[in-house]
Structure 1
Amino acid sequence: MTIETPHRWFERATSMPPTEHIVGSGGADIHYLAWGPEGAPGLVFVHGGAAHAHWWSFLVPLLADDHRVAALDLSGHGDSGRRDEYTLDAWCDEVLAVANDAAMAPNPVIIGHSMGGFVSIATAARHGGRLTGIVILDSPVSKPDPEVEASRVGKLFANRKVYSDFEDAVSRFRTVPEQSSYVPEVFDWVARHSLTPYQPDDHGSEPGWTWKFDPEIFVPPRSAPRDLLDQVTCRVALFRAEDGLVTPDIGAYMYERLGRRAPVVEIPEAGHHMMLDQPLSLLTALRTLLADWDHSRPAGPSPVTAG
């Protein structure tokens, strides 16, 4: 992918280096990045399946002027520890562990993309009293998230791929699902942060580079997100990508299950990975929502019709 002169916003965001931290949660070391003044209102960003904290690090520092911002690697992802078994409950605990460790004000906002949106829903369902709210980014609760769906049919993630050359590995980076466009410097940034050195084992393999996720992350069953939506009591908003996985019908269904109190915001011309193709639209939408939540009272839940 050809990269011309990077956008000014990208240069600004990536010139704001994070502090890196490790916090323990349920026996695993959880790695996270943090920006912004300690004690400020908190934002915790949760990536999707097979992704990592650096899917946010080119953008969310721009929210750190007046927020304490954290982006974590869930266990089995990025630079966090691995587990024998991955559960939604364990990932919820990791989100809260990061929020508690990151020196942010109490009651943060959790922002989760795709599978990370499901983690955010589950965190709110279990611990809504400890959150200001959650923002769900193109997480279609009426069907499996795309990474899980692809994994279960054996298309992707089943075997660890190792590449001898770093640049060759970068060139092979793909998203699931793929989409028609990406911001070139953003795509390159995420690809380069998705790789880790691979050391040879006892079976004669050669050293090289491999992806930063555990191929076993999608094996365990998960609770149905639709059952968790009814249990969310904190503030909530749903961002859907115009060309993403949350169709208007799915958005309407989620709106009903959330008690008709969650704004459904469409990000124009965005694919499922909206931070990779429409980052500034996403940033503007988040800023607008957060400003509103700072100066308004939450609406109470409306009765939910079963179905």
Structure 2
Amino acid sequence: MSDDIVSRIDFPELETPLAGLAGRPPEAPKWFREVVAVAPKHEHVMVDGARIHYLRWGDPSKPGLLLIHGNAAHAYWWSFIAPFLSRDYHVAAIDLSGMGDSEWRPGGYSMEGFAAEALAVCEHSGMLSVAEPPVILGHSFGGFVTILAGALYGERLAGTVILDAPVNPPDRPRPGTPTFRAHNIYPDMTTALGRFRLLPPQTCDNLFILDYVARHSLREAGEGYTWKFDPQIWRNFSIGDMAALLRDTKCRIAIFRGENSILMPPAVGEFMFNLLGRSAPVVEIPQAQHHVMLDQPLALVAALRALLADWEHSDPSRSPDEVDFG
């Protein structure tokens, strides 16, 4: 995410960790090099007039797993996670409209529109045509899209996984909607990478992952480079009542959080647990901040494998019709 965003929000200034690399990709471990070498298939589907791009891995005859990125991010945030899960699942990672390699919407964006894009990818990829319904997993803002998808389309899903997307108690201050200005155009890739930051700001020990997602966040613009996402996404945008939508989820649900996440501390996880009738798992990924897949990618894979294996071999323990939310 660019400095254009961070400068508009009241966070302390952080160093840009990729600036010191002078455009040279940091050395990556063998596991990362091998997993990103597993090339996905590029697919597109038209949704309400916009061409939506997504990546997919694995056998289309297997149960589906759709991955949704966070605010101003893109599908490649999952490309070092998805191949690990494609042994047992047909995995897809979407670029929501206005982000990644999907088209922008000049008329504006909505939560319902993003949820419709997620379901359209499930349908276009064939995930709704196999015996086992798909699971949708969303990180951060993508987690809110996933909550809405579970409320609207849960009867067509096997479950939803919400990754560090906080549904806050009423007494917890809520951040305002981000505001944006037109993107800068940087003269070269090195300069652009030097301006890449995470929001919310955090440290990141895995610079090889940070460099990877940063490079996929940029596109050529004339004689230089700029960010892929539409800076007007959040104009006149409403996220909706996430607590009510969480309660209205019509399928299994699981909550994941980073142990050291500033957006989703333990109290928020407990609040969401209570909203779900204390019958949905809340999984904490050790030593992870908000951007869990950057901080602890392999721990996240292990936790997801365990959860999905349990879901595959057990009956649902939670039905919204049977739980008294008080």
Q: Please report the TM-score for the alignment, with normalisation by the length of structure 1.
A: 0.91
Q: Within the alignment, does 1:164 sit opposite 2:164 as a pair? A: no
Q: Within the alignment, does 1:233 sit opposite 2:250 as a pair? A: yes
2:232 to 210, 216, 228: 216
Q: Assess, with a 3 A threshold, how the Cα gap between structure 1 residues 100 and 182 changes in structure 2: closer, same or farther.
A: farther
Which structure ranks higher in relative contact order (CA pairs < 8 Å, sequence separation ≥ 6)?
2
CA contact (8 A) 1:39 1:68 kept: yes
1:181 to 204, 229, 234: 204
1:94 to 117, 137, 143: 117
Q: Secondary structure at the match of 1:16?
A: coil
Q: Secondary structure at the match of 1:229?
A: helix
Aligned to 2:266: 248
Q: CA deviation at 1:222?
A: 2.3
Q: Assess, with a 3 A threshold, how the Cα gap between structure 1 residues 143 and 181 changes in structure 2: closer, same or farther.
A: farther
1:74 to 64, 81, 96: 96
In the alignment, the residues of structure 2 paired with residue 188 and residue 5 of structure 1 have an alpha-carbon distance, to the nearest angstrom, of 10
Deviates most, 277-286 or 217-226: 217-226
In the alignment, the residues of structure 1 paired with residue 200 and residue 40 of structure 2 have an alpha-carbon distance, to the nearest angstrom, of 29
* Structure 2 gap ranges (5+): 1-17
Aligned to 2:12: none
Q: Secondary structure at the match of 1:243?
A: coil
Q: CA deviation at 1:9?
A: 1.9
* Structure 1 gap ranges (5+): 200-206
Q: Within the alignment, does 1:272 sit opposite 2:294 as a pair? A: no
Deviates most, 270-279 or 95-104: 95-104
Aligned to 2:108: 85
Q: Assess, with a 3 A threshold, how the Cα gap between structure 1 residues 59 and 300 changes in structure 2: closer, same or farther.
A: closer
Q: CA deviation at 1:246?
A: 1.2
CA contact (8 A) 1:10 1:59 kept: no
Identity %: 46
Amino acid of the structure 1 residue aligned with 2:313: H
In the alignment, the residues of structure 2 paired with residue 223 and residue 151 of structure 1 have an alpha-carbon distance, to the nearest angstrom, of 12
Q: Within the alignment, does 1:123 sit opposite 2:144 as a pair? A: no
In the alignment, the residues of structure 2 paired with residue 150 and residue 181 of structure 1 have an alpha-carbon distance, to the nearest angstrom, of 25
Q: CA deviation at 1:151?
A: 5.3
In the alignment, the residues of structure 2 paired with residue 197 and residue 224 of structure 1 have an alpha-carbon distance, to the nearest angstrom, of 37
Aligned to 2:30: 8
Q: Structure 1, residues 183-239: CA drift from partner, whole Å, max 9, x if none?
A: 12111100100001113xxxxxxx311111001111212212112011012010000
Q: Assess, with a 3 A threshold, how the Cα gap between structure 1 residues 76 and 33 changes in structure 2: closer, same or farther.
A: same
In the alignment, the residues of structure 2 paired with residue 304 and residue 218 of structure 1 have an alpha-carbon distance, to the nearest angstrom, of 32
Q: 1:189-208 residue pairs with structure 2 within 5 A?
A: 189-199=212-222, 207-208=223-224
Q: Within the alignment, does 1:50 sit opposite 2:72 as a pair? A: yes
Q: 1:131-142 residue pairs with structure 2 within 5 A?
A: 131-142=157-168
Aligned to 1:39: 61
Q: Secondary structure at the match of 1:291?
A: helix
Q: Secondary structure at the match of 2:93?
A: strand
Q: Structure 1, residues 72-114: CA drift from partner, whole Å, max 9, x if none?
A: 1000101101111100111011001111111333511001000
